[in-house]
Structure 1
Amino acid sequence: MKNAVFLFVFFVLISGILMGCDNNGVEEEQSDGLAITTSFSVLGDIIDQIIGDRGHVDYIVPIGEEPHEYEPVPSDFRNVSDADVFYVNGLDLEEWLENIVENVTDTEIVTLADGVTPIPLEGDDEADPHAWLSPKNVIIYVENLVNDLKERDPEGEAVYTENAEAYLTELEELDDWITEQVSQIPEEHRVIVLSENAFKYFGEDYGFHTEGIWEINSHEEGTPRQFARLTELVIERNVPGLFVETTVDTRYMETISNESGVPIVGEVYTDAVGESGSGADTYIDMMRHNVEVFTEGLM
């Protein structure tokens, strides 16, 4: 749990977050349908594909920031306390945030990654949380989501079932497309190198070796030893290109590029979808973008 826990709890209590009032002390009009809050934008888009017109979805971590170290503000707790349900990824991603939420609201927390086979972080007992970076796992997320929504809102069962069937078809088509695209990359070039080793689930499902300066952004260090290890690996494996993430400072990978002589060949999305108009502002579009970048950069 972060050091700021007690400060945020204090803000929650004095801001009237649990009273359902706006900044002027006036009770706000409640929207029709389910009020859903989730932790970050990737989950927000997945949920939005299923909820349809049965409710609305808010997410806490802004696009462009990463959820491992985000420090919430009082309005975030207001969003959670006003919600009918708070959907989280799980796999230890939002554990500290969940602990805070449980202290300030009785909103139910539901984990969408339940049933995913976890991949451990190297040298750690924790699971790598980035299961959503493989569409095969997002199929599990959707199944968990639909089961919960049907129990929470039985009248919307037909809508959730229809939307889920359509979205699952898209995910299966995405899975097939990824398999076809990566088959073009020579096997010896199937190495994904970033600041954060976020593509382990993707790599396991589609035949890539993955590496990062660090395992997860909350463990971010960028030590000389880490830089030396990764630089040596990049040179030994004759890696054709390196990648940067939209939510991580690019200077870390620029250092690896300068020391190894291997160019940075593209930017990928890991912990957030793209801004509106980016061409990667949905989960499926973000994954298509990533695979295109990998395919072009590793040929």
Structure 2
Amino acid sequence: MKVLLTLLLTSILLVTTGCQETSEEVDSNELKIVTSLSIIADMTEEIAGDKAEVNYIVPLGEEPEEYEPTPSDFQEISDADVFFINGYNIEAWLEQVTENVTDVDVIPIAEEGPKIPLEGTDDIPDPHLWLNPLHVRDYYVDKIVTTLKELDSENSEYYQEKADEYIEELEELDKYIEEETNKIPEDNRLIITSEHAFKYYGDRYGFDTNGIWELNAHEEGTPQQIANIIDLVNESEVPAVFAESTVDPRYMENISDETGVELAKEVYTDAIGDEETNADSYINMMKESTKVIVENLK
């Protein structure tokens, strides 16, 4: 009986140990992905599903162009299998990362897309490509799913299925935005924000767009810039102007005060919202911004 009991306990121990090793192996095989922006993290999570741990660097509500990486950011990127960035120079702090982290692939996921230049330049592209969902479908999703397949070929079929599902959602989002924005009369189809971020959105859905400055990295808000926007608002008689969730609203409050035009609820450009908002994913942030634009311009 003692011998049998010993053998039984030994067997249980071996089985338990084997289970623990299997569990640890699964955990260690899970991809670790870091992205620069919360928007890209959300897209990546949609495609990676439960096969990866995804984190992002720039906190919600902060400007990606002006962010200063912390030592913990460098460590998190160093521990990752891949670091997804947008590109087009929106990550102005990227050089600090590449100087300190050398063993992680840095993948720009937008830079093969179309380029609408910043106003006043011929070849410097606006980075906000994601504000057109079809660009997300054609460039962001393609780059993400291709990279995941290369990193984890055993789950290629899974990633492709998730990507195909997400593409359907993006196409539905595009139709939704088109239908909603068609409610806005031609004379009101002007989106004015502090950062001139809606170029790709305007190009897709038929809006003129403008801003006090071109990029938040160039943020100035000079008297001349503000005067130019005040003149534009008065001349166009647009019914509302918009502040962004990641930008100090006082600039647009000044425009509103000087023109008597309503300052609408904030729109989302550089980050998704937190769980308490209606903008806690890329698709939801696009729907929420469109809802605000339509309600205030139609």
Normalising by structure 1, what TM-score? 0.88
Distance 2:269 2:218 in 1: 16
Distance 1:193 1:31 in 2: 47
Distance 1:189 1:50 in 2: 37
Matching of residues 36-185 of structure 1 within 5 Å: 36-94=33-91, 96-105=92-101, 106-124=103-121, 125-139=123-137, 140-185=139-184
Counterpart amino acid of residue 125 in structure 2? A
The structure with more radius of gyration? 2
Q: Percent identity?
A: 51
Distance 1:207 1:31 in 2: 48
Counterpart amino acid of residue 238 in structure 1? E
Secondary structure (helix, strand or coil) at the match of 1:297 reads: helix
Matching of residues 254-269 of structure 1 within 5 Å: 254-269=253-268
Tell me how far 1:98 sits from its aligned partner: 2.7
Counterpart amino acid of residue 99 in structure 1? E
Q: Where does residue 4 of structure 2 map in the other structure? A: none
Which structure 1 segments of 5+ residues have no match?
Answer: 1-29
Q: Give CA deviations for 1:225-263 in whole Å, capped at 9, x if unaligned.
A: 001000000010111101111111110001001111111
Q: Give CA deviations for 1:81-118 in whole Å, capped at 9, x if unaligned.
A: 00010000011112x43322222222000011032101
Distance 1:264 1:65 in 2: 21
Counterpart amino acid of residue 219 in structure 1? H
Secondary structure (helix, strand or coil) at the match of 1:270 reads: coil
Structure number with higher helix proportion:
2
Distance 1:188 1:130 in 2: 25
Report if the CA contact (8 A) 1:63-1:274 is conserved.
yes
Counterpart amino acid of residue 138 in structure 1? V
Q: Where does residue 200 of structure 1 map in the other structure? A: 199
Q: Where does residue 229 of structure 1 map in the other structure? A: 228
Distance 1:164 1:175 in 2: 16
Report if the CA contact (8 A) 2:195-2:216 is conserved.
yes
Tell me how far 1:31 sits from its aligned partner: 4.6
Distance 1:90 1:265 in 2: 30
Tell me how far 1:191 sits from its aligned partner: 0.5
Distance 2:28 2:284 in 1: 29
Please report the RMSD computed on the Cα atoms of aligned residues, expressed in angstroms.
1.1
